[in-house]
């Protein structure tokens, strides 16, 4: 037995010799990533999907239960490869794909064309350890098959998965329940915390309008129409200013801070 294992190991090493050489010369990663792996995967996937079809169908049959209150299902496929799982997703599902290998794109496009029942959103070229182009709490489901065994930092990936998933809370019977269970007031607080410039804009608008109306009586000899125009311009200016600051703040939070200050989005 030991001799058989030794002979088999030796045979594998001899067969893999050219790969070791390419790796030693620093060429393997490029060749493997660009040429070999996507073509290899697309061939393997067809066979693998045939073998696994019933399991995948069962595994993905409950996806729609995780749809948002509006009924839409936003799904992120992490390490999407050639898009092998698309055909198992429910109709209308909005799919965002993440993979660090840009060479999968043409296979993805083919898979999208073959699976018109899903709604393809975008292909993000990124490693799962840093999916900063994907916003916090924007996904109902994250799918990841045959990926975590070959990544550099599983813990970091799971943190990122948690970040992009829509927050849910545990109900008393230990079932995950969607955030529609959240009370109106706490939802308002959470949304205000996420986009603070919206309540600031509304509060500023109300203040300017109230002050304008209060001053209406004491406007001395100013014409009513002029007074109302001034009030409207001031209120509008406040709202536009708050919206602009909100957009700049989101850009900073989503793109600049994670990229340049190495801080995960909150």
Ligand X SMILES: C[S@@+](CC[C@H](N)C(=O)[O-])C[C@H]1O[C@@H](n2cnc3c(N)ncnc32)[C@H](O)[C@@H]1O
Residues forming the site for ligand X (CB under 6 A): 41, 45, 78-81, 84, 99-101, 104, 127-129, 145-147, 150-151
The interaxial angle of helices 17-24 and 2-15, nearest 10 deg, is 50
Q: How far is the CB of 98 from ligand X (least distance, A)?
A: 6
Q: Which is nearer to ligand X, 104 or 197 (CB)?
A: 104
C-beta neighbour count of 95 within 10 angstroms? 25
Query: Which residue is nearest to ligand X, using beta carbons?
Result: 81
Cβ-contact 127, 150 below 8 angstroms: no
The CB-of-151 to ligand X minimum distance in angstroms stands at 4
Q: Which is nearer to ligand X, 156 or 253 (CB)?
A: 156
Q: Give buried/exposed letters for 36-65 (b at 16+ CB in 10 A, else e).
A: eebeebbeebeeeeeeeeeebeeebeebbe
- Residue 243 backbone dihedrals phi, psi, to 5 degrees: -65, -45
Structure tokens belonging to residue 122: 């975008």
| Among the listed residues 214, 239, 241, the one whose alpha carbon sits nearest the alpha carbon of residue 227 | 214
Give the nearest distance from C-beta 83 to ligand X in angstroms: 8
82: nearest Cα among 116, 43, 119, 54: 43
Nearest to 128 by CA among 60, 80, 75, 56: 80
Query: CB of 156: closest distance to ligand X in angstroms?
Result: 9
Nearer to ligand X, 32 or 209 (CB): 32
- Residue closer to ligand X by CB (options 77, 231) is 77
Residue 32 vs 228, nearer CB to ligand X: 32
**Would you state the structure tokens that stand for residue 206, as one six-digit string?**
């109300």
Q: How far apart are CB 74 and ligand X at their closest, in Å?
A: 18
112 vs 178, beta carbon nearer ligand X: 112
Name the minimum Å distance from CB 48 to ligand X.
7
């Amino acid at each position: 037995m030991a001799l058989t294992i030794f002979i088999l190991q030796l045979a594998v090493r001899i067969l893999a010799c050219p790969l070791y050489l390419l790796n030693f010369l620093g060429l393997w990663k490029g060749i493997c990533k660009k040429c070999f792996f996507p073509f290899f995967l697309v061939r393997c996937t067809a066979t693998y999907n045939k073998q696994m079809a019933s399991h995948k169908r069962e595994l993905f049959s409950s996806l729609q239960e995780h749809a948002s209150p509006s009924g839409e299902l936003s799904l992120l496929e992490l390490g999407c490869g050639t898009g092998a799982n698309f055909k198992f997703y429910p109709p209308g599902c909005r799919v965002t794909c993440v993979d660090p290998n840009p060479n999968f794109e043409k296979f993805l496009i083919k898979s999208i064309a073959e699976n018109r029942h899903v709604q393809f959103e975008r292909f993000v070229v990124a490693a799962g350890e840093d999916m900063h182009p994907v916003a916090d709490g924007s996904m109902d489901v994250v799918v990841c098959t045959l990926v975590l065994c070959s990544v550099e930092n599983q813990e970091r990936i799971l943190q990122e998965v948690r970040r992009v998933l829509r927050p849910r809370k545990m109900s008393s019977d230990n079932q995950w329940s969607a955030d529609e269970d959240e009370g109106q007031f706490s939802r308002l607080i959470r949304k205000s915390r996420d986009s603070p410039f919206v309540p600031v804009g509304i509060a500023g608008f109300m203040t300017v309008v109230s002050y304008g109306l209060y001053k209406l009586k004491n406007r001395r000899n100013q014409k009513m129409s002029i007074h109302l125009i001034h009030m409207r311009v001031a209120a509008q200016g406040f709202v536009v200013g708050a919206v602009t600051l909100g957009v700049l703040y989101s850009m900073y939070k989503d793109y600049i801070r994670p990229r340049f200050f190495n801080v995960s989005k909150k």
